[in-house]
Amino acid sequence: MADIIRKFQYHGHDALLLPAEREAFVTLQTWLSGIADELELPENTRKKLLIAADEIFTNIAAYGYPGSGGTAEVEVTFNITRQLLTMKFIDAGIAYNPLESPPPDLTKPLTERSIGGLGIFMVKKLMDTVAYKRENDRNILILEKHLLNREKQK
């Protein structure tokens, strides 16, 4: 039997299209919070999704389109059969695979630490799987979070 998948819409569109600017995160945050409410996600899961979205979107806004403006698309689907939530980020900025950025050195003293790579390190910890592909000159990052064993979560 095929999985039952629900695609979340944003004002009738299959994806939320945002200017690749840091400030636009507010719109993404509001949309994702609404989805979390609809799915009655545990608080802890809602926060993890928002942090992951913050990190990925901030990366696109900061590095995706150097010297020019651009957009980022966010798609959210929920596989009801598998209780799997998927967030997909698509941008047409410079080719960038965040999974290749080196992890932060958490053992170094505060003053010697460089903060690069911290965001993506957090995303990998917060989500169950993170996958990157480059297709048709677009970066596609797919984040997945399983919602099984809800009763075990906070």
Partner 1 sequence: MKITMNQETNKLTVSIEGSIDTVTAPELEKELAANWNGVTKLFLDFKAVDYISSAGLRVMMAAEQHMEAVGSMTIMNVNDDVKEVFEMTGFDELLNFE
Residues lying near partner 1 in the complex (CB under 8 A) are found at: 22-23, 25-26, 29, 43-44, 47, 50-51, 54-55, 57-58, 61, 104, 106-107, 110-111, 113, 115, 118-119, 121-122, 125-126, 154
Rounded Cα gap, residues 8 and 64, in angstroms: 25
Evaluate whether 16 touches 74 at the Cβ level (below 8 Å). Answer: yes
Give least dist CB 60 to partner 1, A. 11
Give least dist CB 1 to partner 1, A. 36
Q: Which is nearer to partner 1, 19 or 104 (CB)?
A: 104
- Distance of CA 118 to CAs 11, 37, 89, Å? 33, 28, 19
Rounded Cα gap, residues 147 and 17, in angstroms: 26
Q: Which is nearer to partner 1, 15 or 122 (CB)?
A: 122
